[in-house]
Structure 1
């Protein structure tokens, strides 16, 4: 890299480089189309103080002990990829052609203090002839406290993550059928409804969410994709609070997908039996501890029952549980 380019990247900041290098463009929050934006956290209603004790939603709640989340997320946005390939894309952060991971690695090499930790949520969408992945990247610009809820999630085991990893959807714009099917403020523990695979490195965590592991989730998603160019949806990601001491809930990240076009997906070459090489693809400052961490045996054994749980989860959590 030339000294001039290196100086320009350092002045720009690695997150700005990552956002501009990712395949889906960033657009205006209110007027943008075919891209992504960053919705403020207070658009989402999450569990507030008093949720478990019956004290009601502090801070103007009223939705069964819920209130708008804090406007600021725990992490910062670092780009969105909309990808397609002939086979399912696993462990995208380990790919040497991933522009977000590459920007992060370079920042780590030059000891950029803002490049502390990278978290990616990879929603894997089954399809024929191509599979798709919507990958959302979030960055920690300071150390994540180990005793915090997010710290326990990052450094915990798969059973803990599956019991805590939660998504909250908010339909901003879309046909009535999509609104009725997906639900507004619908929340779900993804690790219990779908198969999630976790890839953990010293300075990153990737969560691969296999939407094809649930027939109901696949059907709902394909309904939404059929009207994708007219749908705008907010998705918030968080670690669920399960006791009064862990409240209030906070998003670690959120994204608005605005009327995205299927044809905007960037094609990525893969082999059906591709094996990710940890040593070859993890550069300095982006060290891999394990290439693939599958769900524990109990979740694998219960995979056959996940279709029913997917629907019950959505019904139970509708309204922002």
Structure 2
């Protein structure tokens, strides 16, 4: 059996014959001679969906970034150069994982090439031995050294080329300011050479950044266009993490870029080049100065030293014409240069350079240098924003996202500017050519999708059996339900989308999604008090559990126990159809306490209340079985969970703070079973409840039957 070199979940990326892209999560396995992927983790003799034989003729082609429904994925294409139509397209949500796979596959290819070379050398040596070694044409030592150096150079070049990720290169008119003094400049345009021979001077130090200004004057630029300026700073994060954050154009950018208002994708040219629409938030006399927007080409590459370069330059596009209420600014040159530094005291360090040369356009801008400088410094300060974002964020993994912009063409761009309008439609044709003819989705995928849907239906049948028709009048609790706002001492069901849960791809990209509708229905809430702690409240005569049992329904009882001079219990009754065998809920209900403690989760929230209470409670999900003592009581058609808040010093302290102002609080609670595997995802709420401005005086003393716990 072949040795497994590397394995794990990756994205299966491709395009259908109609041109639409698709992604599927697949389990990839790389062996010493074969790359294969499976619908789920390979066990035993499972047959792969597709395999690719690995030999010295195989290549790994970097396809760069592709965008699917706003998600950016890093795509690799593995193929045999003798048969390019037999290939596998794979992708990852973060560039680190894609680079690991690329390196592993290339190492296997190199091993096969070395094996073939060794076999060839043996045959060649055998041939020379037979031909005789005394011939006049014996090779000299210098010849042998030349041959050896040529072989070493070939290996070195092969490695260096593979480490470089540049795609088709930057557009011809884009100025690559990162290659100052590089010999490659001899192949570039004259304007690029002039631009690259700039000299810089330090003009200020601000927010821990050094800010430079170019010394040379550009005669070919209008007066309103500022000199190029760049900010240089050090960020304690990896180049890959910084690069992924820079490429994002979603809400995350508001946290580090103060000049950002909105961004979207206009057109994806290839994996390394895209046309973007970008609105600036400059904040300089906004009552008098119109806001600015941009339409520009963004190109990126990864260099052989592990650094990343992102370049900007303005372009016109028929689907991104000038917008009413905005002045279209022009980026002459700009971008980021993200390069690794040596670590210090065990901390990863990266140098980030951000350059911008921009013409803000508009009437009289050239006569107000303070406006230009204010706006430029604000944009350059994003480097400080990056540094602070990483220093204050524990979870640095980001999923690059960029919204796709709907066409806003007015048909006036090309007519106004004539030949200056750039048509990228021809450059986009290769995207359709990337359609995998090996598509498992076009032949086998419908069957796989049917199997997947059936499996998910089996796992989630309870939430697909609607309980909306359930007659709630037969269920009663002493705390009343009221769906109106600003009502006191009552409960209601909040919108499930207020809570974020793990999505289907959480195992790979940590994405969370709105929870949606719970799969169990909250039918009643009790508010009890007594001189002692109240356990196993489901035994109370006439409670909602017994009513649900008579109707053939299953009940999950959550008993939140609050200690004090008087003990209180808030009891929630969630009902559903009978348990489906094999579902996650069934495993939880019939599992042992260790499994239950590791899965039962609470998501709290305080929509209305004082700031200090909202901060103390937070909205971070909590595994209750790990934080406090939970007792599980399994009945014939119910499971009761008694949650002793007083068993945790931390929880007791927060509770003391909350109890003092409970009559002014609106508290949301969502309960769910944590999903840990791809098959269990996405997570769904068991149920959710909103308790509004609770009155302690409304609690009643329950009449409990003698305790006859069944577990």
Between 1:211-220 and 1:260-269, the stretch displaced more is 260-269
Contact 1:29 1:39 in 2 (8 A): no
Q: What SS does the corresponding residue of 1:90 show, helix, strand or coil?
A: coil
Q: What's the secondary structure of 2:474's corresponding residue? A: helix
Select the structure that is richer in strand: 2
Distance 1:48 1:29, change over 3 A: farther
Which of the pair has the greater relative contact order for Cα pairs under 8 Å at 6+ separation? 1
Q: Hey, what's the Cα distance between the residues in 2 that align with 1:101 and 1:275?
A: 16
SS at match of 1:246: coil
Matched position secondary structure for 2:598: helix
Contact 2:630 2:644 in 1 (8 A): yes
Q: Shift of residue 260 of structure 1?
A: 0.7
TM-score of the aligned structures, taking structure 1 as reference length: 0.72
> C-alpha separation between the residues in 1 aligned to 2:706 and 2:539?
11
User: In 2, distance between residues paired with 1:268 and 1:75?
Assistant: 25
How far residue 226 of structure 1 moved from its aligned partner, in angstroms, is 0.7
1:164 aligned to which of 596, 599, 613: 599
Q: Which residue does the alignment assign to 1:307?
A: none
Structure 1 stretches of 4+ moved >4 Å: none
Distance 1:29 1:154, change over 3 A: farther
Q: After the TM superposition, which residues 103-142 of structure 1 pair with which residues of structure 2 at under 5 Å, given as runs?
A: 103-105=547-549, 108=550, 112=551, 115-128=552-565, 130-140=566-576, 142=577
In structure 2, stretches of 5+ residues that fail to align are 1-468
Offset of 1:239 from its aligned partner?
0.3
Change (3 A) 1:206 1:246: same
Instruction: Identify the match of residue 531 of structure 2 among 80, 86, 104.
Output: 86
The question of whether the paired residues in 2 share the 8 Å contact of 1:14 and 1:103 is answered with no
Contact 2:529 2:567 in 1 (8 A): yes
Q: What's the Cα RMSD here? A: 1.8
Match of 2:521 in 1: 76
Provide, for residues 70-93 of structure 1, a one-character-per-residue CA deviation record: whole Å limited to 9, x for no partner: 2x2111111000100111000000
Question: Does 1:250 find its partner at 2:684?
Answer: yes
Match of 2:693 among 224, 235, 259: 259
Counterpart pick for 2:480 among 25, 49, 54: 25
Counterpart-to-counterpart distance in 2, 1:69 and 1:197: 26
Higher alpha-carbon deviation: 43-52 or 131-140: 43-52
Tell me how far 1:32 sits from its aligned partner: 2.6
Find the counterpart in structure 1 of residue 214 from structure 2: none
Q: How many residues align?
A: 243
Matched, 1:37 2:492: yes
Shift of 1:192: 0.8
Unaligned runs of 5+ in 1: 1-11, 55-63, 279-290, 294-321
- State the structure with more CA Rg: 2
TM-score, normalising length from structure 2?
0.33
**Cα displacement (A) at 1:30:** 3.0
Q: CA deviation at 1:126?
A: 0.2
